[in-house]
Amino acid sequence: MSYRIVVDFDLCESNAICMQVAPEVFEVRDDDFLYILDETPGDDLRGKVDEAVQRCPKQAISLAEG
């Protein structure tokens, strides 16, 4: 099943935990903002994306199914 990554940028503190878990999907750049490199990553990255969602200290990352 397909999914899309959703980030609440009002909550996000750009602490880069998600980037440490899934660098293929998330990147915090020199401007200290989070960038989503792939909003619809494949199922091969689902485990990493799920971990990034769970480990976000501000719960700013969620997934939209479908």
Q: State the virtual CA torsion across 27, 29, 32, 33 in degrees, nearest 10.
A: -50
Q: What CATH number did the domain enclosing 9 receive?
A: 3.30.70.20
Average pLDDT over residues 51-65: 98
**Based on the structure, what is the number of domains in the chain?**
1
DSSP string, the chain: --EEEEE-TTT-----HHHHH-TTTEEE-TTS-EEES-SS--GGGHHHHHHHHHH-TT--EEEEE-
pLDDT at 66: 81
Say how many residues make up the chain: 66
Instruction: Write the pLDDT tens digit of every residue in 19-46.
Output: 999 999 999 999 999 999 999 999 999 9
Domain residue limits at 55: 3-65
